[in-house]
Amino acid sequence: APMPERISAWGVYDVFVVKDGEQIFLAVVSDTAWKIFCDVFNYPDLLADPRLANNNQRVLARDWLIPLLRERLKDFSAQELSDVFEKNALPYAPITAPQDLLEDPHLKATGGLAPLELNDGRTVNTVLLPLSLNQERLKVRQSAPHLGEHNESLLSSLGYSAEAIQKLSNPS
C-alpha cells in the first residue's frame, strides 16, 4: 500500500509493488543517493532532469515521479531490488507476511526469536520484543495461559462477587 498522503520530506520514500505482487519499501533520501540510484538502474534521463536536481525538487515532483518509478521498477523482484539497494548502501526494507518473520535471517542472527511452549506441549518460535535491558534481550517469561485459566481472579479484581462469577462460569 502507498504511504499515507502527506508532504514527504524525501522525494523517494515509499512502498513499491514489484514482480509477483511483492512489496518493498525503498528510500532515496539525499542528492548523493539519487545519483547512485540513477546510476545503478541506468536512469540517465532522471539524473539529467532539472526538475529532479535536488531532494526538494523531487519532493515537489512526487505526484509524477513516484508513479514513473513504480512503472520502471515493477518487473524487478523484491530480492533483486534488495540486493541492489544493499550493495549500494541505499535504504530499503522488504515487506513480508507475519509468518515470514520466523524465517527472517536478521531475527535468527540477532536472537530475535525464542522458543515458546504451547499448552498442548508443542514448542514453537515466537518473535521477541526488540528491546534490551543491560545489553540482554528480553526473554519469554511464561507460556500463554490455558483458556479461562485466570477468569476467576480477573473477574474478582473487577469487583464481581463469587456468586456472580459462578453464574458466569455455569450459565445454565
Instruction: List helix spans (H) across the chain.
Output: 31-40, 44-48, 55-60, 62-73, 78-87, 105-109, 151-157, 162-169
pLDDT at 35: 98
| pLDDT tens digits along 103-150 | 888 888 888 899 988 888 899 888 888 888 898 888 888 888 888 899
**Domain residue ranges of the chain, discontinuous segments joined by +:** 12-95, 97-141, 145-172
> What value does the mean pLDDT take over residues 146-168?
92
Q: What pTM did the predictor assign?
A: 0.66
- Helix/strand number for the chain, H first, E second: 8, 7
Instruction: Determine the Cα–Cα distance for residues 92 and 80; give it in Å rounded to an integer.
Output: 12
> 12-95: what CATH class?
alpha beta
Instruction: Determine the Cα–Cα distance for residues 20 and 95; give it in Å rounded to an integer.
Output: 13
| pLDDT tens digits along 52-83 | 999 999 999 999 999 999 999 999 999 999 99
User: Is residue 172 pLDDT above 80, yes or no?
Assistant: no
Partners of residue 125 on adjacent β-strands: 115
| Phi, psi for residue 26 in degrees, rounded to 5 | -125, 140
pLDDT at 2: 59
User: Is residue 45 pLDDT above 80, yes or no?
Assistant: yes
